[in-house]
Structures are given as C-alpha cells and as structure tokens.
Structure 1
Amino acid sequence: MRLHRNLVFATVDALLEIFNEGQYADKVIEKTLKRDKRWGARDRSFIAETTYDIVRWKRLYAEIAEVKEPFSRENAFRLFAVWATLRGIALPDWKQIEETPTRRIKGRFDALSKIRKFRESIPDWLDELGVAELGEDIWEKEIGALNKQAPVIIRVNTLKTDIQTLQQKLKDEGFETINLKDYPYALQLVERANIFKTESFQNGLFEVQDASSQLVADFLDVKPGDRVVDTCAGAGGKSLHLAALMENKGQVIALDIYGNKLKELKRRAKRAGAHNIETRVIDNNKAIKKLHGKADKVLIDAPCSGLGVLSRNPDAKWKLEPEFLDRIRKTQQEIIRQYCKIVKKEGKMVYATCSVLPSENQLQVKDFLASEEGKDFKLIEDRKILSSETGYDGFYMALLEKSDSKTSEQV
C-alpha cells in the first residue's frame, strides 16, 4: 500500500482536533472529508477508517510511541507511524515521520498486549469499573468485542417497502446485503460503503440503525392506533421505527429537550412517510404534565454512558469520566420517575440504554420499582444484549406495566 501525503496529513490534522481539542470524531471526519473534492471513495475511506482506528487504539499506540497528551504534530505523526508499521505498511521518507525500527514497535506491541488496559486501549478507571460491574471474564470478552469496527446495518422502512424488495433494489444500486436471523427488519452491508447517496435512501426506503437498537421499538409491543410517547427521542431513529410498526395509525409524540434534534426528526419523518409523529420540545415541566396518564405506551431511551456503542463511537471512551457516570445515573433515575407518570393504567413502558453496565440498567429498574413513583409498576421482561454475544451494539431494555396494585417482581 502506497501512502499519499495529502491523505496522511488530513488524517493527522483530524487526530489533533479530536485528541487536543476534544472534538467529536464523527464531526471532525465529516468536515475533513470535504477538504478536497478530488478525493474519491477510496481516499475518503482511508481517512475515515484510519482516523477511527488510531482513535480506538490511542492509549496503546501512545505507549508504543512513548508520547503523551496533548500531542504535538510530530507526536501525532508518530501515532500514525505505529498504526502503519503494525499493518505492515512501509513508511515514506518524509521529514514529518521520524523513523522508528519496526522491530522495536512490534516488540513493544507484543509486551503491552499482555496487559488488558493497553491491549484494549482503555483508561485504568474504565477497566476497573468493567471488572467490578460485569466480572473479569465477561468484561474481557465485552471490551474486546466493543473494540471491533461496527458493521453497517440498515432497517427497512415497512411504510414504503419490504425487506426482499429493498434487498433487490440495493443490489441493483451496487450494494450487496445479507439478512440477519432474529432481526426481521435488518440488512447488513457486505462491504462498508456510503449508502446515503443511494436512491433507496433518498426515497426513504431505509434508515441506518444498528441491529440491537432495532429491537427496542419492537420490545414496546406497540399496536396500530396506540398513543405512544418517545420521551428522549433525539433525532428519532426509534420514533420512526415505532411509526412503521404502528402502520402510521395512532400517534407517536416525540419529546426532547433539544429542538434542533426534533427538527432533524421532522425531516427524516417526511422522507420516511411517517405521518403520525408529532414533535414537542420539553422547555418546562408543563409539557410533561399535559401528558400524565395519557399514553398507552412510553419509551424511555435514556441518556447513558454509551459504553455499548464504543465500536461506532471509539472516542467516547476518552471523553467519559467517573464523575459523568455518577451524574448520568442520577439523571436516569430522575427521568424514569418523571416520565413514568405519562403511562396510563394497564399501559406499558420500556426503559432502555445503550450501556452494558448493570448500574445503568438492572439496578436502575430495581431502584425505580422500590420507589414511590414505581409502586404501581411491575417488570414484565428485561433483556441485556452484549456485543460479545451478538456482534452488534450492547443494549439493555426493560418492559414494565402499570397496574392498580403493586406486584412484586425481582429484576
């Protein structure tokens, strides 16, 4: 493989923004790819995947290169040199790249790979937390799985097509896909590619959504004609799935504190032909109180650590801090106790996160059921989805039902 100077320089520039300025990797890469209109698909793929790779393995590569943050431009090139050497890519004779013997890099890699926090490239505190919450064996497997590159999964929009028709249409457009057992609305791309420029996407025939995430809306057991509230809707991936499952009948009320995300949901809903979604910005408690006792089904896709989606957001492990986790757990409990009031008697609610930590999942449900607000709810079923077992995102979901009397149920 021959390295092109402008692609390598673009990658190094992106790394410096992500590491030194705390920018989000996806936003930086999106901006970087617009720098040169002459770049083709292969060039863009090199920049994106190399940047993500070095972000994913930052701690390991920094230890091998013996550099510390904040990284100088010279040190960022050293990280790149480690990445290239470990892949057997010959380094060019550029003044920016200081030559390090290949044997030394590989020797340090072999030695450091015996220690999990370096091998899996994670902060000490996160490694300790994973072991404390999941146990040594499960954490070992899970963090290994979460360090693999995420596959590209799409969800068929059943308001406009079916999975067989979409699969054939994508094949005609040059994209091979495979069906996924146990995921009725999912197709996986055989090769990673930019699928957003396809006619199928522009016409709203599918959304990009991980296979695990696709299980959440189904878990809520919605029916056509239901009144459903998606309380932390964001840009609406699950709201769109709910609308499709409801066949555009009934109502999906999408709530969020961020109006810009709901604007994006409106745009996506129009493309998808989802006509039964209404967006409402939560700017005060009145917006929530108006809905008390009025929803057949409520989805709480709660804000969380995001540890279950590290494979697609590898920079998250460098932004996470123990203090944030403490705050988010408190927020999760406040949200479930507040939004549960929207559920009608005999109605259902799903609490979900894209985290694999019991303290954000099973323990939150247990605390809720023991609270005053949770006394009329019972746990029907819960599922914990580990990336190490499925190959997809780590997720948790709990289905609860509201009744007139408390039914004891263990989480």
Structure 2
Amino acid sequence: MDNSRKIAVKVLNEVFDKGEFSNKNLNIRLINSDLDSKDKALVTEIVYGTIKYRYTIDRIIDNFLKEGIKKLDTTILNILRISIYQMKYLDKIPDFAAVNEGVNLAKAMKSVGMSKLVNGVLRNYLRNKEERYCDDRDIVSNLCYDYSFPKWMVKTFITQYGEDTATKILEGLNKRPAVTVRVNSLKADFEEVFDLLEENEYSVSEGYICPEAIRIEKGRSIEKNPLFKDGLITVQDESAMLVAPSMDLEEGMTVLDLCSAPGGKTTHIAELLDNNGKVYAFDLQRSKLPLVEENAERLGATIVQCDKLNAEIFNEKLVDLGDRVLIDVPCSGLGIIRKKPEIKWNKSKNQLDALAQMQRRIMSNACKYVKQGGYLIYSTCTLNKDENEKNINWFLLNHSGFKVESLNFGKAENIIYNKDGSVTILPNDYMDGFFICKIKKL
C-alpha cells in the first residue's frame, strides 16, 4: 500500500529540484496510487502547505543543523519540511505522530543514520516550538517569516505598494482558494444553475463581485459534475471573469485574443457576444490550442476560431482587424500564488525584468491590430507594477493616438482604481491578484 507522506516527499523533490508544477505532478501520483480519499486529501494538504510555508520551515530547520540546509540530502530535507509543516501548521496531527512518521520515512527512503538526524532536528524543534527564527527588528525579516515569502518578493511589494498594502497582499496570497465557476449564458441562466448545483449536493453561494460567478464551498470535483460536462458552467477565478465585461462587447464584433489558452476569457467573450460575431483565439504553442477548442465546444461557443501565433512577431494580416484585441500577456504570476505556491520559489527579480520587455513587444504589435475607435485590453495575473502600470506608461509614451479609459467594477475593498484608469485587484478569500487596463485607439 502507498504511503501518503512518501508520495508527498516525492512530489516535493520534483517541484523544488526539477521545477515541476505541483498540481500536475501531484495529480499524476494520486491517480496512480491506491490511497483512499482521506489519504489523498492529506497528501494534497501536506504538499501545498509545505510549498506555501517553505521559507519559514527552512529557517527553522537551518537553525538546528550545524552546516545548514544547503548540503543536506534533498529527500531528507523534504522529509524534515513536511514534518515541520505538520507540527507548526496542522492541528489534526499530533506532534509525536509527525516525528515518528518522519523518522520512519527517513529510515525507509534513506538510512538509519539519516533517520537519527531527522529525529534530532524534529525533537529539538519541539523543545523550541515558540521561538521565532527571524530578526524582529526588521520589517522585511518579520514579513518573510510570518507569511513565508522570499525577501526579494517582500521588498518588491513594500517598495511598490507600501508596508500596509504589501502586508494585505502577502496575507491574501496565502489564502486557501475556493472553486469558482462561471455560468454560461449561452446555455442557462444563473438561478437555474444555482438551483441545479444545490440539487447535486453542492454547497454554493453567490460570487463576490461578478454577477455570473458561483462559489463552490463544498462538494465533489466540479469537473465530474454533469453541469460542467454539458457546458452550463466552467471553472474560472472571479478576477479573470472581469476581463471580458471590461471590453464593452457588442454583438457582431470581431475580437482577437492573442494569448488565449486555455480559453477561459476567449469563451467568456463568445458568451457575451451571444455567438454573434467572430472570436480569433491565438496562442504561441499549437499544442495548447486543442484545449481552447475543447472548452469552446463544451460551452457551445461556436464563433471561436483557433490558430497559432507568436504575439511578439508582427502579423500584417491582422492589422486593423479587431474591434477589440485582448492581450492577457504571459507574466510572473505573482497574483495567483494562492493557487500556485511554487511561484514563490521558481521566480526571480531578473525574470520579472525580462518579462516586462516581452510584454512591451506584444503590446506594440497588438495595438496595430485594433480598429480606430476600438479597444486594446491589457491584463495580467501579477501584482508587479513593472509589468502593469509601468508598462502602460511606457506604451502611452511610445504610441500616439491611444488613451486609457477608466474601468469601474463597483466598490470592493480589494480593488484599487489607479490614477491612470487601470485597475489592480488584490488577492483575498475570493479573488486572485490581477491587473486590467482598457486602452482606446482614437
């Protein structure tokens, strides 16, 4: 029989050492395991929790090793990480059980000698469980330890947003995300779907800000629900749901989505057009286009046409084609850490700088595809202002004949209406961090 904690360690080895995506690696291992649903839930909790709180956990472990964690065997380090996570952040697992499991795991996966090291570190931690392993005099050190983020990221948020908002961002990015679905207006109305979900024994509530959003609070996997299979709903975060409505869509329009996969915003556009118009869905990787096509077919979005496109390279055939052009550009993803916690550890400041340059190349091409009087919509799932407001400022300085038009999504404590008219959405219990800007071609 498979050991749940052993699977967790193997996933973490792949995520931290090889840059694997946690959700994909974990799903494959769980599908191929003989664990029951309770143990699968435990593995999921341990994996995501350990990734989320890695910084703090590593500071603790480092304190009890003479040579620190850098020279420690990867598997032993991850055994220590999951053990500390259980003892520090989980109430349902007794400390002695976490220690015993860790020791036995080290013995089974490595050696008796390594199991003794694990035993020593974990028992030392238990004797000093209330200690704080950070510099209490330094705000960055405190925030890094309390919310478990790398120092460069904390410094970036403080520099760009100030200490108070940065703290809200860190707190929001550590929230546990719920599943939110978008009601497909092509096939059903909100009340009908809401009632059907309850009949299917889901605990549901209305969305936080989007009128077509339903929050799934409790219930089995939504992808296995007949409402999903029949295309009445699709999974999408509420922040992403705000993009298509911001485009001021009208039936009969031609819309270009230059970075469309997996198709959430593309299909939303088709729904708001009521399948009356044209939606061209492009993506750099042809291998991703079948996913867009599958989603469009499931949802009945018949006006979607897919093709490969490198948005960084100018395409003369697209000039003045779009009434609306959407560029949901590749970004650092700092707004979706609550869903993909490994972003904390697989991104660097240098990568962010390179991304901003790529985004500018995409903007420079995309603006040429917009008809006069049409809109270019720029969106990201990051909170890095260099990829957001700074890019918009650069664009306006280097491209005449465009202006930002203000967006308004109503009042919500996590929505920042920027001076230039763009919108920043801070992460909270209900929404990912996001940025949206609507630019008119005069």
**Structure 2 length-normalised TM:** 0.85
Cα gap change, 1:242 to 1:45, in 2 (>3 Å): same
> Could you tell me how far apart the structure 2 residues matched to 1:155 and 1:301 are?
18
Answer whether contact 1:85 1:105 (CA < 8 A) is retained. Answer: no
2:251 aligned with 1:250: no
Gaps of at least 5 residues in structure 2 are: 63-67, 107-117, 137-141, 407-421
Answer whether contact 2:261 2:292 (CA < 8 A) is retained. Answer: yes
2:39 aligned with 1:65: no
Cα gap change, 1:152 to 1:246, in 2 (>3 Å): same
In structure 1, the residue matched to 2:327 is 300
Quote the offset at 1:104 in angstroms.
3.2
2:30 aligned with 1:33: yes
2:47 aligned with 1:51: yes
Task: Compare 66-75 and 174-183 and name the one that shifted more.
Answer: 66-75
In structure 2, the residue matched to 1:349 is 376
Superimposed CA distance per residue, residues 302-325 of structure 1 (whole angstroms, 9 cap, x where no aligned partner) = 111111111101001101011111
Q: Please state whether the residue corresponding to 1:85 is helix, strand or coil.
A: helix
Q: Please state whether the residue corresponding to 1:311 is helix, strand or coil.
A: coil
Counterpart of 2:151, as a letter, is D
2:403 aligned with 1:378: yes
Q: Please state whether the residue corresponding to 1:253 is helix, strand or coil.
A: strand
Task: Compare 123-132 and 237-246 and name the one that shifted more.
Answer: 123-132
Gaps of at least 5 residues in structure 1 are: 404-411
Map 1:105-120 onto structure 2 (within 5 A).
Answer: 106-108=129-131, 110-112=132-134, 115-120=142-147
Counterpart of 2:402, as a letter, is F
Quote the offset at 1:192 in angstroms.
6.5
In structure 2, the residue matched to 1:407 is none
Answer whether contact 1:59 1:122 (CA < 8 A) is retained. Answer: yes
> Could you tell me how far apart the structure 1 residues matched to 2:105 and 2:313 are?
58
Answer whether contact 1:54 1:79 (CA < 8 A) is retained. Answer: yes
Quote the offset at 1:113 in angstroms.
9.3
In structure 1, the residue matched to 2:105 is 96
Map 1:211-290 onto structure 2 (within 5 A).
Answer: 211-282=238-309, 288-290=315-317
Cα gap change, 1:223 to 1:57, in 2 (>3 Å): same
2:15 aligned with 1:18: yes
> Could you tell me how far apart the structure 2 residues matched to 1:55 and 1:148 are?
13
> Could you tell me how far apart the structure 2 residues matched to 1:180 and 1:235 are?
22
Answer whether contact 2:2 2:35 (CA < 8 A) is retained. Answer: no
Answer whether contact 2:258 2:309 (CA < 8 A) is retained. Answer: no
> Could you tell me how far apart the structure 2 residues matched to 1:247 and 1:210 are?
21
In structure 2, the residue matched to 1:387 is 427
Answer whether contact 2:312 2:365 (CA < 8 A) is retained. Answer: no
Cα gap change, 1:113 to 1:178, in 2 (>3 Å): farther
Counterpart of 2:431, as a letter, is Y
Task: Compare 256-265 and 286-295 and name the one that shifted more.
Answer: 286-295
Q: How many residues align?
A: 395
Quote the offset at 1:49 in angstroms.
2.4
Quote the offset at 1:105 in angstroms.
5.2
In structure 1, the residue matched to 2:231 is 204
**Structure 1 length-normalised TM:** 0.91
2:341 aligned with 1:314: yes
Cα gap change, 1:160 to 1:263, in 2 (>3 Å): same
Cα gap change, 1:377 to 1:283, in 2 (>3 Å): closer
Counterpart of 2:235, as a letter, is V
Cα gap change, 1:180 to 1:286, in 2 (>3 Å): closer
Q: Please state whether the residue corresponding to 2:191 is helix, strand or coil.
A: helix
> Could you tell me how far apart the structure 2 residues matched to 1:181 and 1:113 are?
38
> Could you tell me how far apart the structure 1 residues matched to 2:392 and 2:247 are?
16
> Could you tell me how far apart the structure 1 residues matched to 2:51 and 2:157 are?
20
Counterpart of 1:399, as a letter, is K
Counterpart of 1:366, as a letter, is N
Answer whether contact 1:20 1:71 (CA < 8 A) is retained. Answer: no
Percent of paired sites with the same residue: 28
Quote the offset at 1:217 in angstroms.
0.7
Answer whether contact 2:379 2:434 (CA < 8 A) is retained. Answer: yes
Answer whether contact 1:16 1:71 (CA < 8 A) is retained. Answer: no
Q: Please state whether the residue corresponding to 1:106 is helix, strand or coil.
A: coil
Answer whether contact 1:180 1:188 (CA < 8 A) is retained. Answer: yes
Q: Please state whether the residue corresponding to 2:242 is helix, strand or coil.
A: helix
> Could you tell me how far apart the structure 2 residues matched to 1:285 and 1:171 are?
45
Answer whether contact 2:238 2:430 (CA < 8 A) is retained. Answer: no
**Match 1:360 to one of 368, 377, 387:** 387
> Could you tell me how far apart the structure 2 residues matched to 1:29 and 1:300 are?
31
Counterpart of 1:103, as a letter, is L
Q: Please state whether the residue corresponding to 2:198 is helix, strand or coil.
A: helix
Counterpart of 2:47, as a letter, is T
2:150 aligned with 1:123: yes
Counterpart of 1:236, as a letter, is G
Quote the offset at 1:255 in angstroms.
1.1
Quote the offset at 1:184 in angstroms.
0.7
Superimposed CA distance per residue, residues 226-265 of structure 1 (whole angstroms, 9 cap, x where no aligned partner) = 1000111121110010011111110100111111111110
Superimposed CA distance per residue, residues 15-66 of structure 1 (whole angstroms, 9 cap, x where no aligned partner) = 1111122111111111111122x43333222222221110111111121122
In structure 1, the residue matched to 2:409 is none
> Could you tell me how far apart the structure 1 residues matched to 2:363 and 2:326 are?
10
Counterpart of 1:138, as a letter, is T
> Could you tell me how far apart the structure 1 residues matched to 2:191 and 2:277 are?
27
Superimposed CA distance per residue, residues 346-380 of structure 1 (whole angstroms, 9 cap, x where no aligned partner) = 11111111111221111111110111xx2111111
In structure 2, the residue matched to 1:396 is 435
Cα gap change, 1:333 to 1:192, in 2 (>3 Å): farther
